[in-house]
Amino acid sequence: MTSAQPSPLYPLRFEPIYQYRIWGGQRLAKLLSAPLPDEEPIGEAWLLSDREDHASVVAEGSLKGLTLGQLLTQFPREMLGCLAGRFDRFPLLLKFLDARDVLSVQVHPSDTQTDYLPEGESGKTEAWIVLEDGPNSCVYAGLNPGTTRETLQTAIANGNVADRLASFSPKPGDGVFIPAGTVHSFGDMLVFEVQENSDVTFRLFDWNHIDTKTGQPRPLQVDQAMSCIDFKKGALAAVVPVIEASASALRERMFECKHFSLWRISGDSPFTVGAIGQPRVLVCIEGDGYLEHEGNTYAFGKGDTLLLPAVVGACVCQPSASITVLEISLPETA
């Protein structure tokens, strides 16, 4: 009887994928070690992406150079464990966003609004963790009381959409949950975002921005956006974290929905991350340290993203000093 071969998988670190955005800046250089393109506004760093146009690539180790999609094809059970076979692709997209200017006022369709989803796309529920604010930071999330389709259309025509949007001034550490169908925007902030793996956005209003690359305004999709808005969605505020543990480290559950769950873990003593038989994603937003797995150590620091394949299971995180890590789980159903 032969023993089972050891898995070739290990805690996988991925390279960020930078994205030009007219509202972006250069603040992601403070978070990520990979150099930003010079003299260009970078609004997004895609940290973990299983999309044909932007595929995340393993940064180091024996699997360096393989994409996330290739790993899921070659090692479906080892990567996803009990979730294997439930998804056509990795179901989440993770990003850092640098909104030097304000994003367009926008809305995303839900999974059930299939008339507005291109083939292969899902809806888009998302959530943010505010990493850094600025003097003009603002979150727009939801609609003010009394806003109807007609009053919102009038506001769009008159250019005073902000009057119809619920808003608040965020602070670092705030979590904001944006269900599909919610009108939203934000500006002058650095945030982490977790979302369904979708790139479907309908713009209602773009603050009269001009794209310097084209010299033109960006297109709006007002009709589609209006059809996808949940007009029953009122004003949204920052979430209230739920403390689940505080012994070795402070573990707060920030978001829990059918698409993802996210915990924020902070401490300066060793603590456990990951789960037996399930994949987890780790994003370090402060400090540095290393993971222990099968006698090996895997260093990571601020801005790094690590995917723990299901076969890796739980690991011990050893902080160098104080560290803050986001841990994200996948949905248990497709």
Ordered alpha helix ranges (H), the chain: 68-74, 76-80, 149-158, 222-228
The fold of the 12-228 domain, in CATH, is Jelly Rolls (2.60.120)
Whether residue 203 lies in the annotated active site: yes
Q: Which of 51, 100, 203, 280 is catalytic?
A: 203
CA pair distance 263, 125, nearest whole angstrom: 17
pLDDT digits (tens, 9 = 90+) for 290-315: 999 999 999 999 999 999 999 999 99
Express as a percent the part of the chain with pLDDT over 70.
98
- Residue intervals of the chain classified under CATH 2.60.120.10 are 12-228, 242-329
- Mean pLDDT estimate for the chain: 95
Looking at residue 36, the DSSP 8-state letter turns out to be P
Q: Select the CATH number that applies to the domain covering 242-329 from these four: 2.40.70.10, 1.25.40.10, 2.60.120.10, 3.40.605.10.
A: 2.60.120.10
- Identify the pLDDT of residue 42: 96
pLDDT digits (tens, 9 = 90+) for 2-46: 445 668 999 999 999 999 999 999 999 999 989 998 778 999 999
pLDDT digits (tens, 9 = 90+) for 96-143: 999 999 999 999 999 999 999 999 999 999 999 999 999 999 999 999
Q: pTM here?
A: 0.95
- Answer yes or no: is pLDDT of 57 > 70: yes
Is the CB of residue 45 less than 8 Å from the CB of residue 18?
yes
- 40's tokens: 């260009």
CA pair distance 216, 179, nearest whole angstrom: 30
